[in-house]
Amino acid sequence: MKERTLQILQALVQDFIETANPVASKRLLESHHLKISSATIRNEFALLEEVGLVKSPHISAGKIPTEKGYRFFVDQFLENQTPNEEKIITDLFTKRLKEYKFQKSKETVIDALRILSQLSGNVAFANLDNDQTFYIGLSKVLRSPEFLHEPEMAAQIVEILEGRTRFQDLLQSLDLPTKTAKIFIGKENLLEEISSCAMLVIRFSEKNISGTLGILGPMRMQYSFNKLLLQNAVELIF
């Protein structure tokens, strides 16, 4: 088979795979910048149809590959991939795999927050090193007596959590020990808006994701219990 015929078959199969539409000679000419005429492409189509590599789904349509055409395409062209093409595919797969693993790890972090909030009765939060912050359990904390009687303090907590940026900056500035939760009580918190609260924070790091986990609530909290909760969350989940 002539080189030109092979080139047209390769282009036709690639176009049909991408679009799922029958390929007309004009489309092939425009999309692949072939330096031949539409009439020449139609002649090549006729030759390819004659040997059973392409067919017309109906009279007015362009051409589509046959089963035999797909087999010829695989046998003829797949072994001739360049190192650059292989690198593109490898890089694409690696990138998507990294994104997938990060997303799964992020889901694990959110699951951990749900458990921490349920067991502690406080806000559970996470700040990832790519500047994403999540929190769960705010409504539960706002129902505690401390904040029911002081709605202004409750509003400040809502503001700092929903504003996120200052809270993120605070968490990223903390010098945290590894594998142990650090406790900040009242004015030890660096943000005035949460100076009526206690906050426990622990750093976590694994291959796909890293950041901080924490618990935020009124100063009246179970410190020992919450500290162990955080430390177990890091040990068991990451």
- The domain locations on the chain are 3-80, 99-237
Per the CATH hierarchy, to which homologous superfamily does domain 99-237 belong? GAF domain (3.30.450.40)
Would you tell me how many other CB atoms lie within 10 Å of the CB of residue 152? 8
Left if phi > 0, otherwise alpha if psi is -120 to 50, otherwise beta: which for 37? beta
pLDDT at 33: 80
Tell me the C-alpha to C-alpha distance, in Å, between residue 1 and each of 8, 47, 53, 56, 70: 11, 10, 12, 21, 16
Tokens of 43: 């002649």
**Domain covering 3-80 assigned CATH 1.10.10.10 in the classification:** yes
Cβ atoms of 204 and 212 closer than 8 Å: yes
d(CA 232, CA 237): 8
pLDDT at 238: 64
Per-residue pLDDT of the chain (238 residues; tens, 9 = 90+): 788 999 999 999 999 999 999 999 988 888 888 888 889 999 999 999 999 999 998 877 799 999 999 999 999 988 777 788 889 999 999 999 999 999 999 999 999 999 999 999 999 999 999 889 999 999 988 899 988 888 888 898 898 998 889 899 999 999 888 778 999 999 998 898 899 899 999 999 888 889 999 999 999 999 999 999 999 998 877 6
Do the domains at 3-80 and 99-237 have one common CATH topology? no
Cut 0.75: pTM above it: no
Residues 6+ apart with CB under 8 A from 142: 148, 154, 157, 158
Q: Please give the torsion angle defined by the CA atoms of residues 84, 87, 92 and 97, in that order, rounded to the nearest 10 degrees.
A: 170
